Amino acid sequence: MTETTTTTADAGRSLEDADEVETGPGVFRRLLRDRLAVVGLALVTLFTLAALFAPVLAPHDPNAVDAVDRLAPSSWEHPLGTDELGRDTLSRILYGARWSVGTAAVAAVIIMVIGVVVGTLAGYFGGVLDTLIMRVVDVLLAFPSFVLYLAILGTLGPGLRNLMIALVVITWDEYARVVRGLVLSLRERGFVRASLALGASDRRLMVRHILPNVVPPVVVLASLQTGKLILALAALGFFGLGVQPPTPEWGTMINQSRLFLQTSPALMIWPGLAISLTVLGFNLLGDGLRDVLDPRMGSSKYQR
Amino acid sequence: MTGYLVRRILALVPIWLGISLFAFSLASLSPSDPATLILEREQDEPVTPEQLEAFRERHGLNDPFVVQYARWVGRAAQGDLGESFRSGQPVFAELVSRFPATLQVTVPAFGVAVLLAVGVGVLSAVRRGSLSDHGSRIAALLSDSIPSFVLAYLLIIVFSVNFHLLPVAGRGTWRHLVLPVLTLGLATSASLMRLTRSSLLEVLDEDYVRTARAMGLPGRTVVLSHALKNALIPVVTLAALVLGSLVTGTVIVETVFAWPGVGKYVVDSIFARDYAVIQGFVVFTGTIFVVVNLLVDVLYVRLDPRVRLGGGG
């Protein structure tokens, strides 16, 4: 993705290479050279595995109540102790990864697809459609997403379905802005113009030539966005607006541990640590990916 | 300069209208009909369809969406955000009466964030690649990754539960202010810190800084009086960008510390299904956003001669 002035010769070559965006093993090798990115990758992998294999890894049923062993400190039986109902904290953290990381991942994919499609259409076709879409994006970008999540969930009521609606409706804006900008500049590039001159259809141009070049920045954005989504989910869970108890979700767990802050601070610390480490993982990975895939995006972090 | 400001105002008006349209549309999302809710509150017996119809007709709820929105936004622009279900008081008055408490936390928190960011940012830019530079990068990463309510509870556990130095929650003495301000300040400082660093690094490369150095001025003078002054100009605009995390942080911090400000009020209202307050809060914050953005633009124009003399950009 080195930026060069496109001569005719360049255009011809780019036309053939258009699909070969640097996403192969070379990128991965360069990513592994960045120590912080490796830490990020490890953290993300760790919590993804926890989510996938929670039933195998968890020593107990996350919702099994034990009236005798309530608010227990850590022991061989309960490595991270138990909560106010005697439920095993480690098991709840492991299953919680499904709700906290899993929900964020699903939301992130839906948001990414919508954002990329909207951004591509706006950038490619321009005109009234573009103006309308960008007006909406302006408003969404100008305003803190969390206030809008709160407003939507406050009106619709809590729960997983409404949570998804709020996240998807509000968060596609950044992808749309980034992708639209890329499409606008790609449209002027030699290989796209050449392809257009050869009579390629709009659809073919978008799918074969534009989308593959949009992938690297979108991957970077996705990693950073997933971190933000996990933070938002946790905060909404903390407000009691997310997945409802007894479902083990990290933010909800912290909300329920509030009453025991003085006596059992560990109940708050473990899920807090889980959220922080996961978000840290996605942030480190995102930073690393940005350095490898798209150095020009360096300052995008400050846009918000 | 006037032309620039007029253009900025013209750009901000549609954003305010967009936010208000969002707030107004919320009403049609609510699973329970507000008209029924209000009637049920006013009388003990069940609401009849005739009563409902009469109510809807009287309050213009049968008009087309656009007409209803125009009427609502016209009132909102004049500070009429409807009435709270719970108290029967105007929402705007309720929000305004809690605003000083919110400012009492956000203003010092912003100060803490700026001091921290400029201090650490300068240190890491001047000693680029040093241990303190890496340390500050890691601090910024952590500040980005730890949710503010977790940070708040960590501070409570350390300072209130373990050492009994500060109160756990509530409002009263200055000691009640310390933890909320610290939480919000720390949570907001990360992006400011990065911007100060990168902005100063850029300025340190400029010709006039090299000239100052070549003239034999001491490093401290060069950094503090030549470079920092210019590096801080983009940091000013970040005040507007940080406003987002300040508002979000306020809602969370006020809830954790039971601080009686706007943020706690809206969270309480969400659980009371007081829809008018939720709508009002969105318009209220939207207005603050537009005003602060405008103020920052004015400040930016005054600070940066390139914008002021270049006829705007």
Phi-psi domain of A2 (left: phi exceeds 0; alpha: psi -120 through 50; beta: other): beta
CA angle (B119 as vertex; A286, B193 as ends), nearest 5? 20
Q: DSSP states of B224-285 as a string?
A: IIIIHHHHHHHHHHHHHHHHHHHHHHHHHHHHHTT--SHHHHHHHHHHTT-HHHHHHHHHHH
- Nearest Cα to B251, choosing from B274, B239, B229, B269? B269
Is residue A217's pLDDT more than 90?
no
Provide, as residue numbers in chain B, all residues whose Cβ is less than 8 Å from the Cβ of A295.
none
Taking only the tens place, the pLDDT of each residue in B232-284 is 777 677 777 788 888 889 999 999 999 999 999 999 999 888 888 999 999 99
> Bridge partners of B83?
B90
The nearest alpha carbon in chain B to A270 belongs to: B150
CB A62 within 8 A of CB A214: no
- Nearest Cα to A207, choosing from A109, A132, A112, A124? A124
Taking only the tens place, the pLDDT of each residue in B143-186 is 889 999 999 999 999 998 888 888 888 887 888 899 999 999 99
In degrees and rounded to multiples of 5, residue A78 shows phi and psi of: -125, 90
- Write out the two tokens for B156: 């409570």
The nearest alpha carbon in chain B to A231 belongs to: B147
Q: How far apart are CA B228 and CA B223, in angstroms?
A: 6
Distance from CA of B219 to the nearest CA of A (A): 27
What's the whole-model pTM score?
Answer: 0.85
Mean pLDDT over A137-141 rounds to 88
Q: How far apart are CA A152 and CA A144, in angstroms?
A: 13
The nearest alpha carbon in chain B to A152 belongs to: B26
Q: How far apart are CA B238 and CA B198, in angstroms?
A: 13
Q: How far apart are CA B54 and CA B47, in angstroms?
A: 11
B149–A235 C-beta distance less than 8 A = yes
Is residue A10's pLDDT more than 50?
no
Distance from CA of B31 to the nearest CA of A (A): 6
Phi-psi domain of A294 (left: phi exceeds 0; alpha: psi -120 through 50; beta: other): beta
B31–A147 C-beta distance less than 8 A = no
Torsion from C-alpha of B127, B128, B129, B131, nearest 10 degrees: 30
A276–B146 C-beta distance less than 8 A = yes
Provide, as residue numbers in chain A, all residues whose Cβ is less than 8 Å from the Cβ of B282.
147-148, 151
Percentage with pLDDT > 70 across chain A: 88
Q: How far apart are CA A214 and CA A196, in angstroms?
A: 18
Taking only the tens place, the pLDDT of each residue in A162-203 is 999 999 999 999 999 999 998 888 888 888 888 888 888 888
Q: How far apart are CA B124 and CA B136, in angstroms?
A: 7
Look-up: residue for tokens 């921290």? B116
A153–B150 C-beta distance less than 8 A = no
Q: DSSP states of A76-98 as a string?
A: SSSTT-B-TT--BHHHHHHHHHI
CB B105 within 8 A of CB B178: no
The nearest alpha carbon in chain B to A272 belongs to: B150
pLDDT at B310: 56
The closest CB to that of A142, out of B149, B198, B289, belongs to B289
The nearest alpha carbon in chain A to B253 belongs to: A235
Helix, strand, coil tally for chain A in percent (to 5): 75, 0, 25
The closest CB to that of A239, out of B31, B267, B282, belongs to B267
Spell out the residues 6+ positions from residue A36 whose beta carbon is closer than 8 angstroms to its own: A284, A287, A288
- Write out the two tokens for B282: 């969105």
Higher pLDDT, A124 or B228: A124
Provide, as residue numbers in chain B, all residues whose Cβ is less than 8 Å from the Cβ of A299.
198
pLDDT at A295: 55
CB pairs under 8 A between A and B: 142
Give the DSSP letter of residue A24. Answer: S
Provide, as residue numbers in chain B, all residues whose Cβ is less than 8 Å from the Cβ of A142.
15, 19, 289, 293
pLDDT at B308: 61
The nearest alpha carbon in chain A to B159 belongs to: A262
Is residue A33's pLDDT more than 50?
yes
What counts of helices (H) and strands (E) characterise chain B? 14, 0
Distance from CA of B217 to the nearest CA of A (A): 31
pLDDT at B267: 94
B147–A262 C-beta distance less than 8 A = no
Q: How far apart are CA B266 and CA B272, in angstroms?
A: 10
The closest CB to that of B194, out of A265, A275, A302, belongs to A302
A135, A147, A304, best to mutate vs chain B, most B CBs in 10 Å: A147
Higher pLDDT, A239 or B209: A239
B26, B150, B233, B253, best to mutate vs chain A, most A CBs in 10 Å: B150
B29–A280 C-beta distance less than 8 A = no
Is residue A45's pLDDT more than 90?
yes
Spell out the residues 6+ positions from residue B192 whose beta carbon is closer than 8 angstroms to its own: B113, B114, B116, B117, B118, B121, B235, B238, B242
Q: How far apart are CA B102 and CA B254, in angstroms?
A: 8
Higher pLDDT, B298 or B2: B298
CB B72 within 8 A of CB B24: yes
pLDDT at B1: 61
The closest CB to that of B149, out of A152, A154, A238, belongs to A238
Q: How far apart are CA B193 and CA B198, in angstroms?
A: 9
Provide, as residue numbers in chain B, all residues whose Cβ is less than 8 Å from the Cβ of A277.
145
A157–B31 C-beta distance less than 8 A = yes
In degrees and rounded to multiples of 5, residue A40 shows phi and psi of: -60, -50
Is residue B293's pLDDT more than 50?
yes
pLDDT at A299: 40
pLDDT at B231: 72
- Write out the two tokens for A202: 């709009």
Q: How far apart are CA A284 and CA A41, in angstroms?
A: 8
> Bridge partners of B90?
B83
Provide, as residue numbers in chain B, all residues whose Cβ is less than 8 Å from the Cβ of A279.
144-147
Provide, as residue numbers in chain A, all residues whose Cβ is less than 8 Å from the Cβ of B148.
235
pLDDT at B295: 86
Percentage with pLDDT > 70 across chain B: 96
In degrees and rounded to multiples of 5, residue A254 shows phi and psi of: -65, -40
B282–A151 C-beta distance less than 8 A = yes
CB A51 within 8 A of CB A101: yes
3-class SS of residue B311: coil
- Nearest Cα to A304, choosing from A145, A149, A71? A145
- Write out the two tokens for B65: 């969406």
Give B313's pLDDT tier (boundaries 50, 70, 90): very low
Give B312's pLDDT tier (boundaries 50, 70, 90): very low
Q: How far apart are CA A199 and CA A193, in angstroms?
A: 10
pLDDT at B154: 92
A135–B150 C-beta distance less than 8 A = no
Q: What is the mean pLDDT of chain B?
A: 84
Helix, strand, coil tally for chain B in percent (to 5): 80, 0, 20
